[in-house]
Every structure is written in C-alpha cells, then in structure tokens.
Amino acid sequence: MDFKLFKEMLKRTLLVIFTAAVLACQASPKPQPLVQGVSNIVPDERQALVVREVVSLIENYNYKKIKLNDSISSLILDKYIKDLDPYRYYFLASDIKEFEQFRYSLDDDFRNGDLSAPFYIFNVYLKRYNEWLTYTLAQVKGKYNFDENDAYVFDREKMPWETSVAGLQDIWKKKVKYDLVNLKIAGTPPAKNIETLTKRYENLRSQTNKVNNQDVFQIVMDAFTETIDPHTNYFNPANAQQFNEDMARSFEGIGARLKLENDILKIDEVIPGGPAFKSKLLSAGDRIVGVAQGDGEFEDIIGWRIDNSVSKIKGPKGTKVRLKIIPAGRELSSKPVIIELMRERIVMEDQSAKKTVKTVMSDGKPYKIGIIRVPAFYADFKAANAGDPNYKSTTRDVKLLIDTLKNKDKVDAIVMDLRANGGGSLVEAIDLTGLFIDKGPVVQVKNTKNEIEVNEDSNPGVVWNGPLGVMVDRLSASASEIFAGAIQDYGRGVIMGTQTYGKGTVQSSIDLNRLVNPSILQRIAALVNKDAKTTLTTKDGAPIQLGQINLTMAKFYRVNGSSTQHKGVMPDVQFPSLYPLNKIGEDTEPSALPWDEVPKSNFKPVADLTPLKPELVKLHEERMAKSLDYKTLEQDIADMKKRDGEISITLNESKLKAERDSLEAKSLDRINKLRASRGLAPVKKGDKVKKEENVDFIEDESLQIMADLIKLTDPKKAELVNRQPAAF
C-alpha cells in the first residue's frame, strides 16, 4: 500500500536491514538430520537470508512490537505440525515426541537463518505420507464387507496421536473403504472403482514427488508469520507474483487458465480478449506438451509442476511464445500442433467490479435498482506509477459503472455488493467511499508509535447522491469493512447482511529484494546454483528473487473511533449467517490483535438514518415471517450446523445410502417447493437447474429493503427522517 506509513517505514528499514543482511550472510546452520527412505529436501542460502530478514522486520516493525522467544517458538512448532497433519493421519506419537527437541529453539534458529529443524520435520512427514500412500494403494484391491456397522472417523483433530503403525493402518484402511463405498453407491462397477482409486492415489504420489524446498519454506514461513498475527504473511517469489497479479487484476501472458491433469498441462478456460482468444488457435481441453521462447528450442513440460510450466508460458507483453498442442479429443500420442502467440497484458474482467439492474415491485410500484458487485479492492499500482491512463482500479471501474447506472439505466437506488470481498487496497477503500460522500475523513490509522493519521477523501463532490445500500457477509473483511463502516457512520446508506469478518489491521507489502544489497544476492545465487537442479537467476543474470512480506504495521479505525478488529461491522438489517461465526472471523484467530478505540475524528454525517432503521427492520421481519425462502435458509443453516459437529461417518453401505437418499430427497423437496412458489416446473433428481432459474434470496430481499428506504426517504415523508440537506 502506497501510504505515508509505508514510505517512512521503508526508509528506516533500508538503513537497518542492509547492515544486518551483510553480517547475517556469514551464519552457518546446524547439520540437518537425514531421513531414511526419502529424497531429503534441504533449505538454501536464499531462504536462510529471508527468514533472518523476516525475523528482523517482525521484531522491529510489526504492530505487536513482539520479540521472538521460547514461548513463540513453542507456538510455531505446534502450528507447523498442525498445518502438516491437521487430522493426525500421518505422524505417530513417537514422531511428535521426537519433535519436542525443537520446541524452544526455533526462535534462535530463525534469527540465525537455521531452517534445519522444520525441514527435518517435513522430511519425516514426507516419509510418512509416502508410506501411507503405498499402504492405501495395496489396500485398494482388498476384500471389504460393506454390511458391517463400522465407521470412519474423518476428523481426528482433537484425538490423541496414534501410538502404533497398526493403529494408523486401521484408520487408512477405513479411509480406503470409505472411498470405495462412495464409488459403489454412485453405481460404478467394482473393477472401475479400483481403477479410479488407484489413479487417484498414484496422482497424489506423483504430485508429492514434485515438492521442492520453496514449497516447504512457504509452509514453514506460514506457520511462523501466522503465529505472530493472522495477516503478517510471507510470499515466496511465485506466490508474490500471483498476489500482485490478483491485486492488479491483470497479468502478462497468453490469456488462458491452466490446470494439471494426470501430469499434463490442460487449458481450463480461454480468457476473452486475450491473445489465445483472438487467435482462435486454443480451446478449453487442449493440452500443452511443449513450450519455446521466441524462436528458441522447445522444452517438453509433461510431468512438470504447474507453476514451472506457467512461468514458461507467461512473459512480458510483446514477446513471442510457441506452444506444442494436443487438441482436445485427440490421443496424447498424436502429432502436436505448433502455434505461435504474442503475449499481451491481460485484464481479468471477470474478477473486476460488474453491474446488473433489477426492478422490484413494492406496494404496486416498480423500483429500478443497480447492483454493483465488487469482488475485491484492487489496483494496478505498477501500471498507475508507469503513467498508464487506463490502469485497473476498483474506484475507476465503479465510477464508470455508476455513470452508466445513473445516466443510461436511470436507477432509483444503488446497492454495493461486498459479500465475500476479503479486502485489498486501503487507498481504494478510501477513494471508493469518496464516490458517495463529499470531502471528509474515511478511516483512521494508528501506527506502532500510537500516532493516529486520519485518511480523508480529498475530492470534492459525489458521483452518486441517491439512496445507497451495502451488502456484506462474514467474508467481507478489511477494506470492505472500512467502506461499509464509513457509509454507516456518515449515515450515507443502509448496511444489510451479517456481521463482517473483523479484520482491522493494515499490512504493507515489502519486496525483500529492496532490502538487500544486489552483490549479496549474487553471492547467494552462486551458492544455490551449485545444485544443478535449481536455476535462480534469469537469463540476463538478474539477481534471484526473495519474495515479499505483507507486514502488519498499523490498525485502522472507523471515523467514529471504533476499531473493526474482532467486532467487524454490524449491519443495520441483519440476515442469518451462511458461514459459522464460531469458525470464520478474526475473533476465532488466537494470534489476532484485540479490539479497542481511538478518539472520534472530525467528520460530519450527511444524514441520520437512525429513526428509519427500526421501520426497515420491522418491514424486513414481516416479509421474512411469510417467506418460504427465509424458512428454507434457516433450515439449511441448521442442517449445516448439525453436520459441522460430526466427526465420523458410517461405512455400512445400506445405512450410508439411506442417509444420502434422505438428504437428497429433503433437498429436492425444498428446491421444488421454492420453484413452485415462483411458478417454475419441478425438477427431478440429477436434473441441472438452469442458471437463470437460480435465485439469490439475500440479494432479492436486500432490494426490497432498498425499496422501503426509497419510500421512507420520499420528500413527501421528510418528517420521518432528521436529515441534513445533502443526504440523498
């Protein structure tokens, strides 16, 4: 995020960390114990440097002002083991006992750049994983009695670690039996089920063989940083690129989504407008078996990891890539077709803000309402800094959509749909709020020195001054909460949905390459590249990449002084939560920062909607009391809660089938009752419901609430609202 706090921090960091990097490169890790039976994965000098720098950044600049110690080391170990084996399928109690030797030393090890302990633990995990894959493959062809009244415990998170190999064998045998009984109930013959499971397990083994030290390092660093706080995260170079592309909503390449299927790279989707789409040479289902850069030699990519293959296909716009393609429907042994594409900058429009217009009837009168779905607060900072006048950003996209809704569609109200919007750019949250309010404070930011900075919308005027609603749910977080909170505090609109996530912390993205002298990177590259399997320098000899860290450096507060941390934003009109509040949300994270308050900022509400809210809630509840959709939603949530508490499942075929049939019949009955209420024909088991027949009940009811708001803010009923002149 390019705000003042980040710039000041970076200046200080560059001075401190550069010296630390020079000195730290001399450290030598302890010898890593070898695990027999696997190809041991070991860390490299680059990762040793990164973990040292991350320790320094966290200890000096994380908002918690925390120092690594034995207590934190203990928490990191527990989290790392849980991340590797959450349901206790792989490790034995004896393994866990052995790992105790590392409980209070990880803090010192990480400070010294020593990763031997967590890499050793991973190699033990890898050995156990391969052992159990081998065991399950041997069990697939075994004889099973599906009339027994036994059960498979699939959630062992709170159970003790198994003390014997025989105990784990019993668990894995039941896992195989469960997979087989599921296939059997589906109606496929036994021989086909054995073939399906064998391929499934062999594919898992194949993927395991592709694990490298960057994968392991990412898992280690996740356990480390998330122990400090849930939102301080390290991204290895590949993940950093993906994160930044998601934030920018654009990337440079051929414009295709890819997936790995049986070790073959396959086109999953061709993105409209990209080179692949415009060329008409690629289709979904085509397989890519070779890649060449420009007029260079082809590389066979069969069996490669998907990230390695994708890195060969992506590249700077204006460069040429050639692909060997086996078209969909042809045998893999057929002669490949060679195609040539020029890479371009691809804008991911399907992941950008979009609008729809719906008309609702209320008291016999139609109301036209525009809905703007905002999936994230994104911005292409790289393009913006380069002076691209058409750079992607949430605010720019939404402004254009509002112009169309206002001037062409002539809507009566606008609803911003922020459901499942996990946040993104703080700057975008401020700018987007500015489209709906005149100049004024939007969010307050408190840094590690307890200094409070008020971030304001400095652009005069509003783009939309009509009735406004904001839809949120439990997955609406961070920047979504800043926007929704500001709209609520200003009295600018009505918030509808469920309590939001409660993420009230600010992260700065720091490119670790900017903190280290290039000559040191070259030294590390030379050391790492002694391993012939690893290439960490680009063709032109550019330095290796260290990745980036998103470091929690501040907390944000609403203009009313309240933090959204833990508590989130409470809607004015509430719906039942589709997501379990006791499992999803900041208040479920053990390392999360607490809720607190700061003084309220100097802001002036544009309206007081408080007198209206009880009436909006009353009208909403009256509709819900008569709504079959609402009753069905409540029943679905109750059923999910019941299933969520289950940790085992029967392996008796007839009982399992009866349970499934009962659930399917119950679900089908609910669907058909809803369809009947809408005048739609019933569907049978297995029928596909047409996309246009799907109903978003939460959205539909939110539009009814907006119609109520329009009526209650009618100038003829001005006595209902104590408003200031610029309200709507």
Q: How far apart are CA 245 and CA 424, in angstroms?
A: 12
Spatial CB neighbours of 727, under 8 Å, sequence gap ≥ 6: 491, 606, 607, 713, 721
Q: How far apart are CA 686 and CA 664, in angstroms?
A: 10
Q: How far apart are CA 630 and CA 623, in angstroms?
A: 9
> Which pair of tokens denotes residue 149?
């009244």
CA 432 to chain centre: 22
Spatial CB neighbours of 664, under 8 Å, sequence gap ≥ 6: 685
Give the end-to-end CA distance of the chain in Å, rounded to a whole number: 32
Strand 287-293 and strand 365-373: the pairing is unpaired
What distances in angstroms separate CA 132 from CA 106, 129, 194, 492, one per listed residue? 28, 5, 17, 58
> Which pair of tokens denotes residue 723?
């408003």
Give the single-character DSSP code of 530: T
Place of tokens 């860390």: 43
Spatial CB neighbours of 434, under 8 Å, sequence gap ≥ 6: 395, 442, 457, 458, 459, 462
Half-sphere exposure in the Cβ direction for 125 (13 Å, CA): 22
Sequence letter at residue 228: I
Q: How far apart are CA 134 and CA 116, in angstroms?
A: 27
Spatial CB neighbours of 38, under 8 Å, sequence gap ≥ 6: 123, 126, 127, 130
Spatial CB neighbours of 376, under 8 Å, sequence gap ≥ 6: 246, 247, 249, 351, 394, 421, 422, 423, 424
Q: How far apart are CA 43 and CA 109, in angstroms?
A: 13
Q: How far apart are CA 467 and CA 723, in angstroms?
A: 13
Active site amino acids: 478, 489, 503
Sequence letter at residue 547: G
Coil, helix or strand for 562? Answer: strand
Coil, helix or strand for 402? Answer: helix
> Which pair of tokens denotes residue 245?
């592309």
Q: How many residues does the chain have?
A: 728
Spatial CB neighbours of 151, under 8 Å, sequence gap ≥ 6: 174, 648, 649, 650, 651
CA 589 to chain centre: 16
Phi/psi for 484 (5° steps) reads -60, -40
